[in-house]
Amino acid sequence: MKTIKQLKVKTASSNYSIYFGNDFIKSFPLKKISNSKEIFFIFDSKMPDLSIRKVKSFIRKSMPSKFDSFKFIANEKNKSIETSQKIIEKLIDLKFSRDSLIVSFGGGITTDLAGFVASVYLRGIEVMHIPTTLLAQVDASVGGKTGVNSKKFKNMIGAFKQPAAVLIDTYFLKSLSKRHLAAG
């Protein structure tokens, strides 16, 4: 059994836990965080296939009755209201309900975008972050700030949305180049 540490976060709007460990995703019980049977997975297309398969397997172990995903290139251009709209339209088309859980997998752009969508879809659904960059693990995935870019300015459209949980698995840092790891 992998060692997993837990930090409990209490905010004015909600409480959540941050779980830390190395290579624990495959054995972590998702039911500990959410009982949702509808899970929507938003992930950075630049993540290694093995990592994506590992997280999808983790999600599928919870046996959701509905599972779908949205893959995108995580860059500032795509951290937009237009990308948010595409995700929201897909959620609507697939009839995801208020009891759904969004799982984000990627760096800060991914956690910001997923958090924003979770804050506005059906006036707010749960979101859980699995951050994969050092900066996302210590900053972007915690604290509840979400946002997307306007055509002219960065992070001008946003909301505060505390996550249901954050899973910080240092295994995913191994996929980063030394340059990206040092940059955060």
User: In the numeric block, which tokens belong to residue 59?
Assistant: 């999600």
Mean pLDDT of the chain: 93
CATH number assigned to the domain comprising residue 174: 3.40.50.1970
CB 80: neighbour CB atoms within 10 A?
17
What is the residue type of 110?
Answer: T
d(CA 53, CA 71): 13
pLDDT in tens, 157-182: 999 999 999 999 999 998 776 776 66
Would 98 be classed as within a structural domain?
Answer: yes
In a domain, 159, yes or no: yes
Does residue 62 sit within a domain?
A: yes
pLDDT digits (tens, 9 = 90+) for 46-94: 999 999 999 999 999 888 899 999 999 999 999 999 999 999 999 999 9
Tokens describing residue 82: 């237009």
Which segment of 35-39, 98-102, 134-138 scores lowest on mean pLDDT? Answer: 134-138
Q: For residue 149, what are the domain limits?
A: 16-183
Give how many domains the chain has, as a whole number.
1
Residue 3 lies in a domain: no
pTM, entire model: 0.94
